[in-house]
C-alpha cells in the first residue's frame, strides 16, 4: 500500500517528519512524498533519507492509495483525485455541509481528522488539540511581540513597569495554553468562558476566572460549547467591555463547533482600549470573536493591533508537523491493517472520522 | 548480703533500662537500640528476681524454668513467623497473654485468701481485685481486638443494642464486687471468686466489642496500659519495686500514647471508646462500592514507606493542578532525594486538561527536566520502582485501559503504575476522572489510598518525612 | 485518715518515686513522631510483660506440693513470657525497618 | 526655558510621555512637542493634555532652548539647528569620532545620553541599560515567534517535545534579560561571556555559564568588555561551533564599547545549525556577532533565520518611551536649574555626557 | 502529725511543680505559665520548710523573715528595673547570689565542724566541702560573667598566660583540700577554713576568666547547674529532700541545657571552657574595621524578633539571587503571614545586576505582585515597620548615599531601612557591594548582622520560626 | 565497701529517686527550641535558688544568741532570696515576649 503526502499550498507544515518514517513503514506502507513538502518545516527532502520516494504532485496523487494533506483540499485538488482513492485531511465537514456530498459523488473515501471525537482515548490522534495548543502558545508570543509594553513587572532605575493585563476568552485547549504561557511571562491573566466547568481548569493553572453568571450548560454536547442566550451574551459583553479597557492584551479563542464564532468584542470596545494594545483572535477562521477581526490579517484600529489568525500552528511548523504526524500515525493504526486499508467499521473513532462511510 | 546488694543494683539498672529504652524508642534513629536496652533491662530484672533473696523461698526452679523457657520459645517463634502486616494483631495477642498472667495471679491470690491460706488486709485485697479486673479486661479485650484485626470477627455481629449501658453496668458491678470482697476481708466462697473472674472476663470482651476495627490500634494501646497498671498492682502484691515501677511506667507511657494516637486521628479517647465504629473506615467503605475493599494508608506509614524506599516515581494528574500542590510535591521530592531516594516524575501525555499541563506546573516548581519521564520512558521503570505516588491522577493510571475491552478508554496507553512494589494514590475521595470510568487501580492489591486534598496531604507528608 | 497518713509516711519515698515515674512515662513518650506510634506501643507492651516477675515470685514462694499454685503459676509464667519475648521480638522486627540511612 | 521634543524619523519611541509631563514642568520648563511625536507609542497628541504645546518640526527647533531627540540626529537635522542651541540625544560619539567636531563647529551644546557613566549612581539616567533590557526581552520574544518549535518542554498525547536550547552570547544587561525571559518560557539556557565576573550573575538567574578559559580581564575598563586575544577567540569559536549545532536559538549581545562588535558566529557555524533555528543579533548595529547578520534585516540562510536588530526597544515603544523619559528627566535634573540651563561642570555625569564641553 | 503530713504533701507538690514548671518552660506557648508553676512550687517549698516540724528548732523567725523579705524586695526591684537587653547579665548576677548563699552555708558548717560545735562524718564533710567549692565557683564565676557581659571587664585583661594550667592546678588543689578536711574529720584550724574559702573563690573567678564574652550564656548555664548541684549538696547537709531533688533537677537540666547551647553554636563544651574567646565574636570583630563594632544576632533571636513583630519588609538584593534563596524567602514570608505578620518586599530599582532582576526571582517564587513595593512606595513604609530583613543587598540600602557627600553613590535614592525599628542584615561576610563602598548601615545601632549564605540562613530561620 | 552497701540499702529509694530525677531533668529540657535557651536558663536558675531552704533550716536550728550563725544565715537567706525572686521575675519578663499569638 502506498501512502502519499502532498505539499501544502498555503501552510508550512508537512504531515510526515523524517524521524517518524520508520513507524509508518512498520505499518507496511510505502511512502511517496511530494517534492519539497517538508522544506518549510525544516525538513528538506534529503532529510527523509532513502527509505521514502519523492515525486511530483501528480505522481503522488496517481500512485498513492491513501493521500494525506493537512488542510481541507480545495476544489482543484479534489478534481485531480481519481475516484476510489482514500484521503485523510481535515475536511471541516461540520462547517461545510456540501463537502461530504461532493466527496461521495467523486468516489473519494475520506477520513477527516477534525471529526475524531474529543475523548480521552482519541487524544493521541486529536489534531484539534495538538494544533490548538500551539495556537494558544503562539498567540501569546505574537501578542508579546506586538504589544508596546513589557509583559512582566519590572522595577527598574528608569521607573516601575506594571505587569501587562491579559484577558483570555474561551478556555479550551488553546485558551488554557495561552493562560499558561502568559503566566510564565509574568502577566496578570484573567479568563472568560461560558462553560463554568473550566473554571477549575483555569484555576489549576493559577489564573483568575471571571464569571458571568447564567451560562447555559449542555453536558450532552460532548465538551463543545453550546450557543448562549442573548441576555447572557449582553451581560457578558458588558463585563468584557469593562475589563477590556483595562486589558493590554486580549486573546480570543471562543468557538462553537459547527457555528459561526460568537462575536464577543465589538468595535466599540476596541475603540475604548488603550492604544498600543493587542487582540489576537484565534477564532478568526469562523468569523472571529472580535467584530473587527479580519481573518489572516493583522490590522490596526484606533491604535489597537488586531491579529486574526486561526492557523498559528503553521507559524511553528516543525513541532506542529511532528505533532500532526504523530496524530496521523496513531489514526492510521486504526485504518491500515497489515499494509492494506481496512478500517474497523465498528470503532467509534472510525465511525466519526470516516465521513463518507 | 553482697548478693542482695548486687541484685538490687541490677534492678536499678533494669529500671533505668526501661526508661532509657522507651526514650530511645521514641526517636527513629535510636529506636531499635532502645528496644534492645529495654529487653536487656527485662532480662536483668528476671535474673534478679529469680535469684534474689526471698523470704520463705522454696524456689521450684524446675517449674519456673519450664514456664519461662516454654513461653520464650512460643513467643519467639510466634514473633518470627508473623507476617509484617499481621504485626499489630500479634501485639494485641501478646498483650492479652500478659493480661492473662495477671488474671491468673489475681485469681490464685483471691483463691488463697478465700481459702484462708493467706489473710490479706483491705488494701491488699483491693489491689488483688484490681489486678484481676484490669488483667481480665486486658486479656479478653486484647483477644477480641486480635480477632477483629485479623478479620475473624465482624464488628457489627458482636455489638448489642445499648451496648454502652451494658458496659457501664458491668463496670459498676465489678467495682462493687471488688469493694465487697475487700470489705469482708476475703471471706468469700470459691464460687464467688469464680463468678467475679467470669464477670471480669466478660466485661473485658464487652468493653472492646463496640469499638470499630479502624480504632483497634488505639484500643490495643489502651489495653496495653491496662496490662501495665495490672503489673504494677501485682508488684504491690508481691512487694516487687521493679514490677511496680515498670508497670507504672508502661501504664503512664501507654496512656499518653493512646491519647496521642487519638489526637493523630483527630478524635478524643472517649469518642473512640463509646463512639463505636471509626468514622474513617466508614467513609472509605461507603464509597468503595462494588469493586471490593480499598485499603487506606496512614500518613506516617506512607512517610515510612517513602523514606525507606530506594526509588520513587511521582505520577501527577489533574488533581495536582487543582490543588496547586506542585511546590509541595517538589518539596517532598527534595526531602526524599536528600535521604538518598531517587525521585522521578512520570508524565502521561494527557494528564491534566491541556497538552503539557503537567510540564507547566512542574516547571513552575523548578523540577529539572531530566527528572521528567514520558510515557515510553516511564513504563519500563515501574517494575523497578519501590513506590509510585499517584497525585490526583486517575484516567491516566487506569488499568482498565488494558484489561477491560468494554471500557471507553480501552486501548489507550496508560502508566502501568501497578507494576511497582507499592502504589500510593492521593485523591480527595473516590470520584471518577474526566473520562468518567471506574478505576480498578484503587482496588488493586498493591495500591493504598491516601485521601485528602493533594496540597494538604503533601504538606503533611513532607512534615512526616522530615520527622524521620 | 490516719491510715493514709501512716501509709504515706512509711512509703513517702516510694510514693514520690511513683509520681516521678508517671511523669517520666509521660515525658519519655510525649514527643514521639506519629510514625513510631505502633512500634512504640509494641515496645511498651513488651515491658508490660514484667508481670512475669509476679509469676516467678509466686512460684518461688509456693509449696512444692501445692500443685494448683504451681500449675497456675507456671501457666502464668508461660503466658507472660510469651508477652515478653514475643513483644520484644516483634518490636525489633518493626524497628528493623527504621535502620538508620547511610546518607544522613 | 523651552524644552522641545522632536518626532523620531525611524523610531516609534518618543522622549516624553503624558504621565511624566508634570514632573518636567516642575523643572520650570515649557514643553514643545512636534506634532504626532507620541502617536506610534500609543500617545496621540491629545493624550498630553493642554499643559503642553504642539508645533511643527521647524517651530519646535526654532523656539526650543533645549532640543531632545532619542536617536543620533542625521545631518539634515543638525544643519537645521541654529547655533547656540542645546541638544540632548545619543550622539554615539564613541563610535563616530567626527561628530563632536561637527557639533562644536555648528555651535551646538550637546549632551549625549549614551555617554552617561555606567555607575550605580547614574543608573536612573542610564538609557543604555533601560533600552538594552528591553532588547534582551524582545530578542527572546522575537526568537520564540520565529522559531519553528516550542520553547518549553511538552509531554503531550501527540508526542513529547523537548525544550528548546538557547545560547546567549554576551551577558550584559540585554543578555541577562534574555536569560531571564528565556528561562521563564521554559527553555534550557546556556550563556557565554568573556568576562568571568558575570558567571555569578548568570547563575543568579538560574542559567548555565559555559566557560572558555583564558579570557582577558580589565577592571579599569569600567565594566565594558575588552578586546580579547586571537587564541581566545579561536577556542571560543570552536566551542560555540559545537554548541551552536545543538542550539535552537542563539541570541548574541556581545559588544565592545567603541569598537566593532566581535564576530563570534561565522557563516560555517550557521550552516551547521538545524534548519528552522533562529539567531537574534542585538549587536548588529556595530557589525553584528554573526558573520551573516544584516543590520535591520531578517534574512534566512540555510534555513536559519537571522534577525539583525539593535533597536528592539523601538518595537516596544510605550514602555521604552516611558523608561527613556524617566532617564531623561533624571538627567535634566542635573542640567536644568530653576528653569534655565546651567549644568554643574564639576559633576562626573555631566563631565561625561556633555560631549561638547 | 497531720501538719507534718500536710507539709510533706506540700513538698511533693512543690517537687512536681518544679518538674512540670520546667517542662512547660521548654515550649513557647506554655513557658510563662511554667515559670509561674515553678515559682508557686518554690513558694510552697519555702512555706513547708519554714513551718515543718524540725528537730531542735529554735526558729528565729524574725531573722528569717527579715532575710527573706529583704531578699525578695531587692530581687524583685532589680528584676523589674533591669533593661531587656541587660537580662542575661542579671541572670548571672542572681545565680551568683544563690552560689554565695551556698558558700555561706558551707563555710559556716565547716567552721562549726572545725570549732567542734558539730562533728560530721567523712561523707558529710565531703559534702560540705563540695557545697563550699561549687558554691564558690558559681558565685565568683557568675560575678565575673556578669561583669564581662556588662562590659565592665575586658576579656584580654584578666587572662594570664597558660591560664588553663593555673586552673587545673587550682582544681586539683581545692579537691585535695576537700579530701584532706574530710580525712581528718574536720579537725582543722579556722585559718585553714578561710584559706580554703579564698582559694575556692579565686578558682571560680579564674575558671571564667579565659572564656570569651560571646560564650557567656553557655557559661552562665553551666554555673547555674553548679548552683543546682551545690543546692542539692546543701540539701544533704540539712536533710532536706526537696532541696536535694530540686537541686539535682536543676543540675541535670542545666547540664543538658549547657550542652544544647554549645551544640547550637556548633561547639563542644570543652572547647568553650578551654578554647578562650569565642571564635564567632572574632570573625565579626576582625572584619569590622574602623567603623566601630557590629552587632550579630543569633538565629533564634532573629526568629523571635520576626515572629513577634507586626510588619516585616524584606529587602532583596543581588545576594538573594546569588544564593538562589528566593523560594526560601517566600517560605519565611508565608510562615510569618500565617502568624499574622504582614510581609512586604521593598524592591530597589537597581537591586541585582539587571533591571527587574528581583522581579524575575520573586515571580519565580510566586510572590504576588501586590506585595512588591518600589522605591517610592517603600520609603514611607519603613518608619512604620518593625523589622526589615536585608537579604544580600548592600549598595541599595547604603545610608552613605544620603549622608556622605564624598561617596560615589552620594545622591542616589536608597531604601531607608534604618528608619525601621530593627534591621536584620543577611550576608556572608563584610564584603562590599557592586559599587565598592563601605556601608555604614552595618554599623548602625538598629542593625544586626546575620552572617551566612542567604539560602542556608533563610532555611534555618524558617525552621526556627516554625518551632515557635 | 560495706559502708556503700549499707548506705545503699538504707537509702535505696532515695537513690532511685535521684536517678529518676536526673533523667527527668534531662528529659524535661531535651526538646526545647533554641529560642528558649536563654529564658529557660533563667527559669532553671530561679529554681536553683532553692538553696534558700538551707539558709532557713540553718537559721531555724541556730541558737538565738549564736549571732555569727544568725548573721551568716540571714545574709545567705537574703542572697538566695534575691536569686529566687529576681530569677522568677526576670524569667517572667523574658517569657512575656512569647505571649501566645491570637491568630494561632
Ligand atoms: N491533557 C489534555 O489535553 C486534556 C484535555 C482535556 C481533558 N483531558 C482528560 O483529562 C484526564 C486527565 O487524567 P488525569 O489522571 O490527569 O486526571 P483525571 O482522570 O481527571 O483525575 C483527576 C483526579 O484528581 C482528583 N482530584 C481533584 N482535585 C483534587 C485535589 N484538590 N486533591 C487531590 N485530588 C484531586 C480527582 O479525584 P477526587 O475528586 O476523588 O479527589 C480526580 O479523580 C484524561 O481523561 C484526559 O483525557 C486531557
Ligand atoms: N540592577 C541593575 O541593572 C544593575 C546592573 C549592574 C550593576 N548593578 C549594581 O549592583 C548593585 C546592586 O545592589 P544590591 O544591594 O542588590 O547588591 P550589592 O550591593 O552588589 O550587594 C550584594 C551583597 O550580597 C552579598 N551576597 C553575595 N552572595 C551572597 C549569598 N550567597 N548569601 C548572602 N549574601 C550574599 C554580598 O555580601 P557578602 O559577600 O558579604 O555576602 C554583597 O555585599 C548596585 O550597585 C547596582 O548599581 C545593578
Ligand atoms: N479528552 C481529552 O483529553 C480532551 C483533550 C482536548 C480537548 N478536550 C475537550 O474538547 C472540548 C473542546 O476543546 P477545544 O479547545 O477544541 O474548544 P473550542 O475551540 O471548541 O472552544 C474553545 C472554548 O471557547 C469557549 N466558548 C464558546 N463560546 C463562548 C462564548 N460565547 N464566550 C466565552 N467562551 C466561549 C468554549 O467553552 C471552549 O472552552 C473541550 O471540552 C475539551 O475539554 C478533551
Ligand atoms: N552600575 C549599574 O547599576 C549598572 C547597570 C547596568 C550596566 N552596568 C554595567 O555596564 C557594563 C556594560 O553593560 P552592557 O549591557 O551595556 O554591556 P555591552 O552591551 O557593552 O556588552 C554586552 C556583553 O558582551 C560581552 N562581550 C564582549 N565581547 C565578548 C566576546 N567576544 N564574547 C562574549 N561576550 C563578549 C561583555 O562582556 C558584556 O557582558 C556592564 O559591566 C554592566 O555591569 C552597570
Summarised one tens digit per residue, pLDDT across range A171-221 is: 999 999 999 999 999 999 999 888 878 888 999 998 999 877 766 655 555
The answer to whether E92 touches E223, Cβ cutoff 8 Å, is yes
Residue B366 has pLDDT above 90, yes or no: no
Chain D residue numbers with beta carbons less than 8 Å from the beta carbon of B349 are 155-160
Q: List residues near ligand 2 (CB under 6 A).
A: D 120, 123, 129; E 317-319, 322-323, 350-355, 357, 392-396, 426-431, 433-435, 453-454
Count Cβ atoms within 10 A of the Cβ of residue E158 and give its class: 0-12 exposed, 13-18 middle, 19 or more buried: middle
Among the residue ranges B79-83, B99-103, B185-189, the one predicted with the least confidence is: B185-189
Q: Which of B269, C94, D180, D139 is nearest to E356 (CA)?
A: D180
Confidence of residue B456 (pLDDT cuts 50, 70, 90): very high
State the Cα–Cα distance between residues A84 and A106, nearest whole angstrom: 8
Spatial contact of E78 and F82, defined as CB atoms under 8 Å apart: yes
Q: Do B353 and B325 meet the contact criterion of CB atoms below 8 Å apart?
A: no
Distances (CA, A) of A79 to A42, A61, A102, E186: 30, 11, 10, 129
pLDDT given at position C1: 67
Specify whether E395 is catalytic. yes
Query: Cβ of B20 and F19 within 8 Å?
Result: no
pLDDT digits (tens, 9 = 90+) for A61-99: 999 999 999 999 988 999 999 999 999 999 988 888 889
Q: Tell me which residues of B are annotated as active site.
A: 395
Residue B275 pLDDT exceeds 70? no
C-alpha span between D188 and E382 (Å, rounded): 39
Cβ contact E228:E157 at 8 Å: no
- Give the Cα separation of B132 and B125 in Å (integer): 10
Active site members of A = 118, 123, 126, 129, 224
Q: Which of A42, A142, A148 sits opposite D319 (nearest CB)?
A: A148
Mean predicted lDDT score pLDDT of chain D: 90
Question: Is residue D306 classed as helix, strand or coil in its secondary structure?
Answer: strand
Provide the grid cell at B400. Answer: 482498565
Alpha helices in C2-102 (DSSP H): 2-29, 37-48, 52-61, 67-81, 87-96
What is the secondary structure of B349-386 as a DSSP string? TT-SSSTTHHHHHHHHTT--GGGEE-HHHHTTTGGG-S
Supply φ then ψ for residue B451, to 5 degrees: -80, 150
Residue A216 — φ and ψ, nearest 5°? -80, 140
CA distance D306 to D292: 8
Q: What is the pLDDT of residue B89?
A: 85
Q: Which residues of E435-464 are buried (b: 16+ CB within 10 A; e: fewer)?
A: bebbbbbbbbebbbbbbbbbbebbbbbbeb
Q: Which residue of E has its CA nearest to F98?
A: E28
Best of A149, A150, A153, A155 to disrupt the E interface (most E CBs within 10 Å) is A155
Ligand 4, atom 28, residue with closest C-alpha: D254
State the Cα–Cα distance between residues D163 and D161, nearest whole angstrom. 6
Asked which of B63-72, B403-412, D222-231, F87-96 is least confident by mean pLDDT, the reply is: D222-231
Here the ipTM equals: 0.78
pLDDT at E287: 41
Mutate to test the pocket of ligand 3, among A95, A128, A172 (most ligand atoms within 8 A of CB): A172
User: The C-alpha cell of A332 is what?
Assistant: 492510521
C36 phi and psi, to 5 degrees?
-95, 0
Q: Residue D1, exposed/middle/buried by CB under 10 A (0-12, 13-18, 19+)?
A: middle
Which three-class secondary structure state does DSSP give residue D129? Answer: helix
In order along its 357 residues, chain A shows pLDDT tens digits of 899 999 998 899 999 999 999 999 899 889 999 999 998 898 999 999 888 899 999 999 999 999 999 999 988 999 999 999 999 999 988 888 889 999 999 999 999 999 999 888 898 999 999 999 999 999 999 999 999 999 999 999 898 999 999 999 999 999 999 999 999 999 999 998 888 788 889 999 989 998 777 666 555 555 555 666 778 778 877 888 888 888 999 999 998 888 899 988 999 899 999 999 999 999 999 999 999 999 999 999 999 999 999 989 999 999 999 999 999 999 999 999 888 898 988 888 999 999 988
Of chain D, the percentage scoring pLDDT greater than 70 comes to: 96
Average pLDDT, chain E: 87
CB atoms within 10 A of CB A116: 26
Indicate the helix (H) or strand (E) that contains D67: strand D66-68
| Binary contact (B57, C60; C-beta < 8 A) | yes
C-alpha pair distances (Å), E103 with each of D120, E109, E222, F62: 64, 10, 17, 17
What is the per-residue pLDDT across E317-371, written as a single tens digit (0 to 9) for each? 999 999 999 999 999 999 999 888 999 999 999 999 888 899 999 988 889 989 9
Weakest-pLDDT range from B370-384, C6-20, D136-150: C6-20
What residues of chain C score a pLDDT lower than 70? 1, 98-104
Q: Do chains F and D meet with 3 or more Cβ pairs nearer than 8 Å?
A: no
| E16 touches C at CB < 8 Å | yes
What is the DSSP code (8-state) at residue D152?
S
Q: Does B446 touch chain E (CB under 8 A)?
A: no
In this model, does residue E290 exceed pLDDT 50? no
Nearest CB neighbour to F84, from listed E75, E217, E242: E75
Is the backbone of residue B300 left (phi > 0), alpha (psi -120 to 50) or beta? alpha
Please answer whether residues A106 and A81 qualify as being in contact, where contact means their C-beta atoms are separated by less than 8 angstroms: yes
Are the beta carbons of B1 and F19 separated by less than 8 Å?
no
Give the neighbours of chain A: at least 3 Cβ pairs within 8 Å.
B, D, E
Residues of D in contact with B363 (CB under 8 A): 152-153, 186
Residues A132, A146: Cα–Cα separation, whole Å? 21
Q: Model confidence over D190-220: pLDDT tens digits? A: 998 888 788 889 999 989 998 777 666 555 5
CB pairs under 8 A between C and E: 22
Distances (CA, A) of F40 to E23, E308, F22, F32, F36: 10, 18, 17, 9, 6
Instruction: Sort strands D249-252 and A304-308 into parallel, antiparallel or unpaired.
Output: unpaired
Q: What whole-number distance in Å separates Cα of residue D131 and Cα of residue D324?
A: 8
Answer whether residue E8 shows pLDDT above 90: no
Contact E349, E317 (CB under 8 A): no
List Cβ neighbours of E147 (8 Å cut-off, separation of 6 or more): E153
**pLDDT attached to residue E278:** 38
CB atoms < 10 A from the CB of E434, how many?
17
Closest ligand to the CA of A226: 3
d(CA A48, CA A51): 7
Q: How far apart are CA D278 and CA A145, in angstroms?
A: 15
Q: End-to-end alpha-carbon separation of chain D, Å?
A: 20
Pairwise CB contact (< 8 Å): E366 & B366: no
CA-based end-to-end distance of chain B = 48
Classify residue D227 by its DSSP letter.
Answer: P
- State whether the Cα torsion B50-B52-B53-B55 is positive or negative: negative
Q: Give the pTM.
A: 0.81
Cβ distance of B363 and D160 shorter than 8 Å: no
Tell me what the mean pLDDT of segment B236-241 comes to.
90
B283: pLDDT confidence band, cut at 50, 70 and 90? very low
Residue found by looking up cell 459583553 in the block: A237
Cell digits of residue B41: 533491662
Instruction: Burial-class residue A176 by CB neighbours within 10 Å (0-12, 13-18, 19+).
Output: buried
Cβ pair A130, D156 in contact under 8 A: yes
Q: Which of the two residues, B367 and F32, has the higher pLDDT score?
A: B367
What dihedral do alpha carbons B344, B350, B356, B357 form, nearest 10°? Answer: -90
pLDDT at B157 over 90: no
Q: Which of D132, D255, D311 to mutate to test the pocket of ligand 4 (most atoms within 8 A of CB)?
A: D255
**Chains in contact with C, where contact requires at least 3 CB pairs less than 8 Å apart:** B, E, F
Amino acid at each position: 500500500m502506498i501512502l502519499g503526502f502532498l505539499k501544502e499550498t498555503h501552510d508550512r507544515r508537512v504531515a510526515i517528519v523524517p524521524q517518524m518514517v520508520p513507524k509508518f513503514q512498520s505499518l507496511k506502507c510505502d511512502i511517496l512524498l511530494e517534492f519539497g513538502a517538508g522544506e518549510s518545516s525544516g525538513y528538506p527532502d534529503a532529510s527523509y533519507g532513502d527509505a521514502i520516494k519523492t515525486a511530483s504532485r501528480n505522481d503522488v496523487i496517481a500512485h498513492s492509495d491513501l493521500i494525506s494533506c493537512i488542510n481541507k483540499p480545495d476544489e482543484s485538488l479534489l478534481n485531480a483525485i481519481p475516484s476510489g482513492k482514500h484521503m485523510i485531511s481535515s475536511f471541516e465537514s461540520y462547517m461545510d455541509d456540501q463537502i461530504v456530498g461532493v466527496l461521495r459523488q467523486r468516489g473519494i473515501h475520506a477520513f477527516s481528522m477534525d471529526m475524531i471525537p474529543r475523548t480521552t482515548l482519541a487524544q493521541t490522534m486529536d489534531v484539534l488539540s495538538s494544533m490548538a495548543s500551539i495556537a494558544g502558545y503562539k498567540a501569546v508570543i505574537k501578542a508579546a511581540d506586538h504589544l508596546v509594553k513589557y509583559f512582566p513587572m519590572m522595577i527598574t532605575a528608569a521607573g516601575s513597569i506594571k505587569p501587562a493585563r491579559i484577558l483570555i476568552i474561551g478556555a479550551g485547549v488553546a485558551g488554557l495554553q495561552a493562560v499558561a504561557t502568559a503566566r510564565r511571562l509574568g502577566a496578570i491573566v484573567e479568563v472568560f468562558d461560558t462553560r463554568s466547568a473550566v473554571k477549575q481548569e483555569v484555576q489549576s493553572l493559577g489564573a483568575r476566572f471571571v464569571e458571568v453568571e447564567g451560562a447555559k450548560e449542555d453536558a450532552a454536547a460532548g465538551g463543545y460549547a453550546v450557543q448562549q442566550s442573548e441576555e447572557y451574551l449582553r451581560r457578558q459583553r458588558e463585563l468584557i467591555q469593562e475589563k477590556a479597557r483595562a486589558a493590554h492584551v486580549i486573546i480570543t479563542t471562543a468557538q462553537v463547533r459547527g457555528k459561526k464564532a460568537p462575536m464577543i468584542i465589538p468595535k466599540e470596545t476596541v475603540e475604548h482600549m488603550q492604544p498600543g494594545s493587542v487582540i489576537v483572535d484565534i477564532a478568526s477562521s469562523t468569523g472571529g470573536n472580535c467584530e473587527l477581526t479580519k481573518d489572516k490579517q493583522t490590522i490596526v484600529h484606533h491604535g489597537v493591533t488586531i491579529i486574526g489568525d486561526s492557523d498559528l500552528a503553521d507559524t511553528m511548523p516543525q513541532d506542529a508537523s511532528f505533532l500532526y504526524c504523530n496524530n496521523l500515525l496513531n489514526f492510521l493504526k486504526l485504518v491500515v491493517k497489515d499494509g492494506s486499508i481496512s478500517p474497523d467499521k465498528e470503532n467509534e473513532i472510525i465511525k466519526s472520522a470516516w465521513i463518507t462511510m | 548480703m553482697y548478693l542482695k546488694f548486687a541484685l538490687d543494683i541490677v534492678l536499678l539498672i533494669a529500671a533505668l533500662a526501661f526508661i532509657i529504652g522507651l526514650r530511645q524508642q521514641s526517636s527513629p534513629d535510636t529506636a531499635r537500640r532502645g528496644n534492645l536496652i529495654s529487653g536487656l533491662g527485662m532480662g536483668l530484672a528476671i535474673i534478679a528476681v529469680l535469684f534474689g533473696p526471698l523470704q520463705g523461698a522454696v524456689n521450684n526452679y524446675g517449674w519456673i524454668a519450664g514456664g519461662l523457657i516454654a513461653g520464650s520459645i512460643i513467643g519467639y517463634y510466634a514473633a518470627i513467623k508473623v507476617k509484617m502486616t499481621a504485626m499489630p494483631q500479634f501485639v494485641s495477642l501478646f498483650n492479652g497473654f500478659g493480661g492473662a498472667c495477671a488474671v491468673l495471679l489475681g485469681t490464685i491470690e483471691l483463691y488463697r485468701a478465700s481459702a484462708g491460706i493467706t489473710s490479706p488486709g483491705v488494701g491488699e485485697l483491693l489491689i488483688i481485685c484490681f489486678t484481676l479486673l484490669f488483667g481480665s479486661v486486658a486479656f479478653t479485650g486484647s483477644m477480641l481486638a486480635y480477632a477483629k484485626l485479623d478479620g475473624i470477627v465482624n464488628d457489627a455481629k458482636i455489638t448489642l443494642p445499648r451496648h454502652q449501658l451494658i458496659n457501664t453496668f458491668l463496670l459498676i458491678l465489678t467495682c462493687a464486687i471488688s469493694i465487697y470482697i475487700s470489705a469482708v476481708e476475703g471471706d468469700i466462697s470459691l464460687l464467688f471468686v469464680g463468678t467475679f473472674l467470669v464477670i471480669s472476663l466478660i466485661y473485658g470482651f464487652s468493653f472492646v466489642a463496640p469499638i470499630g476495627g479502624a480504632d483497634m490500634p488505639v484500643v490495643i494501646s489502651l489495653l496495653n496500659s491496662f496490662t501495665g497498671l495490672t503489673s504494677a498492682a501485682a508488684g504491690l502484691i508481691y512487694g516487687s519495686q521493679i514490677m511496680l515501677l515498670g508497670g507504672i511506667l508502661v501504664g503512664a507511657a501507654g496512656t499518653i500514647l493512646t491519647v496521642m494516637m487519638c489526637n493523630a486521628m483527630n478524635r478524643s479517647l472517649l469518642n473512640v471508646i463509646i463512639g463505636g465504629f471509626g468514622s474513617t473506615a466508614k467513609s472509605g467503605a461507603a464509597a468503595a462500592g462494588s469493586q471490593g475493599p480499598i485499603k487506606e494508608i496512614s500518613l506516617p506509614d506512607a512517610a515510612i514507606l517513602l523514606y525507606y524506599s530506594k526509588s520513587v516515581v511521582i505520577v501527577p494528574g489533574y488533581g495536582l493542578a487543582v490543588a496547586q500542590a506542585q511546590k509541595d510535591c517538589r518539596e517532598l521530592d527534595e526531602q526524599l532525594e536528600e535521604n538518598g531516594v531517587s525521585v522521578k516524575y512520570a508524565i502521561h501525555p494527557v494528564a491534566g486538561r491541556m497538552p503539557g499541563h503537567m510540564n507547566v506546573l512542574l516547571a513552575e516548581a523548578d523540577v529539572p527536566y531530566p527528572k521528567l519521564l514520558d510515557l515510553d520512558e516511564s513504563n519500563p521503570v515501574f517494575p523497578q520502582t519501590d513506590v509510585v505516588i499517584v497525585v490526583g491522577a486517575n484516567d491516566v493510571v487506569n488499568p482498565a485501559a488494558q484489561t477491560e475491552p468494554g471500557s471507553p478508554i480501552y486501548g489507550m496507553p496508560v502508566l502501568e503504575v501497578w507494576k511497582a512494589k507499592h502504589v500510593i494514590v492521593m485523591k480527595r475521595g473516590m470520584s471518577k476522572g474526566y473520562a468518567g470510568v471506574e478505576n480498578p487501580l484503587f482496588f488493586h492489591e498493591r495500591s493504598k489510598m491516601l485521601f485528602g486534598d493533594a496540597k494538604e496531604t503533601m504538606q503533611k507528608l513532607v512534615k512526616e518525612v522530615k520527622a524521620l | 485518715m490516719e491510715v493514709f497518713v501512716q501509709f504515706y509516711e512509711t512509703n513517702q519515698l516510694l510514693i514520690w518515686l511513683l509520681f516521678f515515674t508517671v511523669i517520666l512515662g509521660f515525658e519519655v513518650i510525649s514527643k514521639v513522631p506519629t510514625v513510631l506510634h505502633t512500634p512504640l506501643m509494641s515496645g511498651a507492651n513488651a515491658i508490660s510483660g514484667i508481670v512475669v516477675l509476679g509469676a516467678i515470685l509466686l512460684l518461688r514462694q509456693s509449696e512444692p506440693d501445692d500443685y494448683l499454685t504451681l500449675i497456675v503459676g507456671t501457666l502464668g509464667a508461660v503466658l507472660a513470657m510469651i508477652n515478653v519475648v514475643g513483644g520484644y521480638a516483634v518490636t525489633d522486627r518493626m524497628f528493623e525497618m527504621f535502620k538508620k540511612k547511610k546518607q544522613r
